[in-house]
Amino acid sequence: MCGIVGYVGPQDALDVVLEGLRRLEYRGYDSAGVAVRIGDGASGELASAKKAGKLANLEKLLADSPLPASTIGIGHTRWATHGGPTDRNAHPHLSADGRVAVIHNGIIENFAALRTECERRGVEFASDTDTEVTAHLLAVAYDELPAGPDRFAEAMRVVCRRLEGAFTLVATHADEPDTLVAARRNSPLVVGIGETADGTAEYFLGSDVAAFIAHTREARELGQDQVVEIDRTRGLSVTDFSGAPAEPTAYTVDWDAAAAEKGGYDWFMLKEIAEQPRAVADTLLGRLGENGQLVLDEVRLSDQDLRDIDKVFVVACGTAYHAGLIAKYAIEHWTRIPVEVEVASEFRYRDPVLDRSTLVVVISQSGETMDTLMALRHAKDQKARVLAICNANGSTIPRESDAVLYTHAGPEVAVASTKGFLTQVVACYLVGLFLAQVRGIKYEDEVAAIVEDLRGLPDQVAQVLEQMEPVRALGRSLADSNTILFLGRHVAFPVALEGALKLKELAYIHAEGFAAGELKHGPIALIDEGTPVVVVVPSPRSRESVHGKVVSNIQEVRARGARTIVIAEEGDEDVVPYADHIIRVPRTPTLLAPVVTTVPLQVLACEIADTRGYDVDQPRNLAKSVTVE
């Protein structure tokens, strides 16, 4: 959730760290801070600065009170968990003697006992955070160890063995002129390895590769319960918490710094909406092998394991949960296996019935969503099989799963997911087809035919995007609304939920999504004169006359004064008499329709929020990746 940056190399560390923090602003934060190590030789000093609010507040503080030049430094953007978003609670946190500075992402669950221990030693705490205990413990551990090249890393290992919870820690020490140490448990940490124009080595740490993508594409992903030591002369060293050598996962980032810039759009979200045709196409690329078999990215399960599956759970949070709801329709239709969709934060606490014949599909854009990760681990403990859908190669959730399908959305900077959602939906379709193929429910030519329909989606999304100017105008006219309702049936129901969520996230408007068939069971009481109601209409070709039922729902809300906004496919004339506004989308196979019907709702929410004067990319109180429970 928080942004973490570290640097060791010949460049000015403060410049590198601040640049990295700017690139991580999309993660959401409420304060920011930096620390640098200054002085020559083995005995130096630490200098730090931190400020509540946006990064601009910190930059103003640094302009008024500059820190000394340094080539080793750390930086942090914080999203408050323990202690409010104040200057004193911002990171970095220093040890009592000022010799250790620490930044932290996550939650240390046993911090209260550790804090009491420190206070009994006479330590006076300067913040309300759980993080500060690690700075004091690191200073004590360091002082108690003999001098040596591994001293700081060993101090970090000593401390980590005492910590409970989820954490990424990065620390610098005044007595270590060339070294940063870092550790991770259940929270992301990536190392970047580069060199300057003159061939001098430099090293980066980040909670996300965006922190250092302007400098290098060569990355190392730390595994669970590992400590990394970065030394200017000795390079990179990784161990587990007990000190045994470990090998980080090496990979090359396949996007560049320009991919994280706005590209001329007012908002990153608008840019990412426009990138959806390419993102969907990339997610589909290379999925059908030469033999006609569907291909996933990593499968550590046998075909027999998959044939033995008799129940599927789809587990996710927020927008990814809505992708899972769409997956249920497709997977059940194509495989005839019963599917349940669960909110990840509730999954393990209700004691679901799982065994070796259960497949749990976990969906996470970042691969680090804590609720989803904990659900995954619960499923593994119960011997269930786990398949991950993820956008982040090398992240924790894919590494701990039995099979993986990576989406190829590229970096998504805006907090509210758009292209991440569409690629997750497409990935869910691929998982359903893969299961149907392995289990012999569908022949290769049937799978190939559906894949061909999927390959048509990028052009259809592009067609929708070309027709969005009237939707933007509609959004501006709706900006003063207090309530907007969304209705849908069949696969359009999750689309309605997603449309309502986007509006809540971005425009802070009361918005609700309902299954249209539930309208008369209560929600119709919300309809008042002029209440905007967005209705996602299924194709007239959909099953069991559900189209006609939704048209009747439109009539019902309009008769009670609603302002009806109808999303319908081209050629559907039945809705025309009852729609105040019609948004047309291309004709698409029923199960695949969410990929095109979602797009206008994204644009609508973005335009309403922009008209209301809100920050579209960084909505209040939200973070891009939720890495705590």
- Domain of 109, CATH number, reads 3.60.20.10
Cα(399)–Cα(105) distance, integer angstroms: 20
Candidate list 50, 419, 502, 624, residue with the active-site label: 624
Residue 29 lies in a domain: yes
- C-alpha span between 17 and 203 (Å, rounded): 12
Confidence of residue 624 (pLDDT cuts 50, 70, 90): confident
Task: Tell me what pLDDT residue 544 has.
Answer: 63
- The answer to whether the CB of 391 falls within 8 A of the CB of 352 is no
Q: Are 330 and 432 in contact (CB under 8 A)?
A: yes
**458/452 Cα distance (integer angstroms):** 11
Residues 431 and 569 occupy one common structural domain: no
Whole-model pTM: value is 0.77
Region 557-563: mean pLDDT is 94
Look at the alpha carbons of 621, 627, 628, 629 in this order and tell me if their dihedral is positive or negative.
positive
Residue 475 predicted with pLDDT over 80: yes
- Specify whether 2 is catalytic: yes
Q: Evaluate the omega torsion of the peptide bond into residue 248 and state whether it is cis, within 30 degrees of 0.
A: no
**Each residue of 113-144: pLDDT tens digit?**
999 999 999 999 999 999 999 999 999 999 99
Active-site residue, selected from the candidate residues 2, 118, 317, 428 = 2
Claim to verify: residue 491 and residue 518 sit in the same structural domain: yes
> Domain boundary residue among 455, 489, 512?
455
Neighbour tally for 336: CB within 10 Å: 10
The whole domain housing 603 covers: 462-614
pLDDT digits (tens, 9 = 90+) for 334-390: 999 999 999 999 999 999 999 999 999 999 998 989 999 999 999 999 999 999 999
Q: Are residues 130 and 245 in the same domain?
A: yes
DSSP designation for 102: E
Distance CA 419, CA 268 (A): 11
Average pLDDT over residues 74-99: 92
For residue 199, the tally of other CB atoms under 10 A from its CB is 6
Judge contact between 535 and 566, C-beta under 8 A: yes
The answer to whether residue 423 scores a pLDDT higher than 90 is yes
Residue 317 has a pLDDT of 96
Residue 624: active-site member: yes
Three-state SS for 572-583 is CCCCHHHCCEEE
**How much is the pLDDT for 628?**
66
Question: CATH no. for residue 411?
Answer: 3.40.50.10490
pLDDT reported for residue 26: 67
Single residue among 200, 232, 254 that ends a domain in this structure? 254
503 close to 608: Cβ distance less than 8 angstroms: yes
> Which pLDDT value is given to residue 259?
67
Answer whether residue 620 is part of any domain. Answer: no
What confidence tens digit (pLDDT) does each residue in 13-62 have?
A: 999 999 999 988 866 678 999 999 998 777 899 999 999 999 999 999 99
Kindly state the tokens that stand for 192: 């970047």
Q: Does one domain contain both 373 and 520?
A: no
Please report whether residue 147 resides in a domain. Answer: yes
Query: Which of 254, 287, 314 is the last residue in one of the domains?
Result: 254
Q: Is the preceding omega at residue 85 within 30 degrees of 0, hence cis?
A: no
What is the rounded distance in angstroms from the CA atom of residue 294 to the CA atom of residue 428?
A: 13
Check residue 175 and give its pLDDT.
Answer: 95
Q: Which of 40-44, 53-57, 216-220, 474-478 has the lowest mean pLDDT?
A: 40-44
Q: Which two tokens stand for residue 134?
A: 């690690």
Considering the domain architecture, whether residues 570 and 473 belong to the same structural domain is answered as yes
Q: What's the structural domain count of the chain? A: 3
pLDDT given for residue 579 in this prediction: 96
Whether residue 268 is found in the same domain as residue 239: no
Q: Do 65 and 178 have their domain in common?
A: yes
If asked whether residues 76 and 197 sit together in one domain, one would say yes
